[in-house]
Amino acid sequence: MMANYGVQHVQPHAYGQPNPFGPPIQWMQVPAPIPGCPPGLEYLTQLDQILMNQFVEMLEVITGWETQNRYVIKNTMGQQVYYAFEESDVCMRQCCGPHRGFIMHIVDNMNMEVMRINREFKCGAGCCWCACSDGCAMEVSIEAPVGQIAGYVRQSCSAWVAEFDILDESRNTVLTIKGPCCICKGPFCCFDQEFGVNSADGTVNIGKVTKQYGGFCKECYTSADNFGISFPMDLSVTMKAVMIGAIFLIDFMFFEKKQ
């Protein structure tokens, strides 16, 4: 079991402060508290699209040593909404690669952890044909606020394409995700790849998760990926948080492998 070290060591840059790795970071304006909304998720009430960019880790690029992933989550104006960082065991990262278990901590611009995404390590899991069994299905749980389950994203059984169920805290299916017929990985897959977000019965499309092409060099030499997600503005904030969890599961399952 992985230890929980908290988020004290994370220091996101304040609004407008210089960023040593690039231009000044512009944070999304902090919304007013909303009754009944988990603290820190008020941002999501104003969003129907989210962009997620993974940091390029130079140590990993140069040496091949698998490092802990870091991400920035933005709105469509490029303003930072959240910062996400991985907690995982160093041996598991080197030996299990993208199949490793992890905890993803998500903090806001006040350095408060507003979400936590957990994936347990499952040996041999991930085959779409065997995902009917809990032991063979990849899954993440999403806590928002931390300590309170908001929902789950679970790989579902299919004949070929990648499919997932978006579940609430009681494991009732709220939405489904269906991937493309063929998931292409590598620098020559120079197009965006879309995973449709549909109603619980799969008949109505309400959004999509998009793995964006990052350019030849980035795709060739790194495993850092860019994603976008769209959903209805009036979708509950807890389900929007669960959809963010879906991005991480899709990334680790299909796009985290070294080229």
- Say if residue 6's pLDDT is above 50: no
Average model confidence (pLDDT) across the chain: 87
CA dist., res. 220 & res. 101, Å (int): 25
Q: What pLDDT digit, counting tens, does each position of 117-149 carry?
A: 999 999 888 888 889 888 899 999 999 999 999
DSSP string, 109-177: TTS-EEEEEEE---TT---GGGTTSGGGS-EEEEESSTTSEEEEEEE---SSS-EEEEEETT--EEEEE
Mean pLDDT of the region 191-195? 90
List own/partner pairs for 118-121 with CB under 8 A and 24 or more apart: 118/143, 119/248, 119/249, 119/252, 121/92, 121/96
Work out the average pLDDT over 170-186: 91
Question: How high is the pLDDT of residue 109?
Answer: 87
Q: Which residues contact 34 (CB under 8 A, 6 or more apart)?
A: 42, 45
Q: Is the pLDDT of residue 79 over 70?
A: yes
pLDDT at 40: 93
82-94 average pLDDT score = 95
Bridge partners (DSSP) listed for residue 196: 178, 208
Q: What is the pLDDT of residue 187?
A: 74
Q: Is 27 helix (H, G, I), strand (E, B) or coil?
A: strand
d(CA 90, CA 168): 31
Three-state DSSP class for residue 19: strand
pLDDT at 171: 97
Measured distance CA(104)–CA(151) in Å, rounded:
15
* Residue 39 Cα to chain centre, angstroms: 19
Residues 6 or more apart whose CB falls under 8 angstroms from that of 10 comprise 83, 85, 105, 107, 111
Can you tell me the mean pLDDT for 56-71? 85
Radius of gyration of the chain, Cα coordinates, nearest whole angstrom: 17
pTM for this one? 0.86
pLDDT digits (tens, 9 = 90+) for 210-240: 998 877 666 565 656 899 999 999 999 999 9
User: What is the structure's pLDDT at 213?
Assistant: 84
Task: Give the pLDDT confidence of 240-258 residue by residue, as tens digits.
Answer: 999 999 999 999 999 887 5
Say whether pLDDT at 23 is over 70: no
Q: What is the pLDDT of residue 11?
A: 45
Question: How far is the C-alpha of 231 from the C-alpha of 234, rounded, in Å?
Answer: 9
- Report pLDDT for 92: 92
Residues 13, 5: Cα–Cα separation, whole Å:
21
Q: What does the block give as tokens for 159? A: 């004949």
Mean pLDDT of 165-194: 90
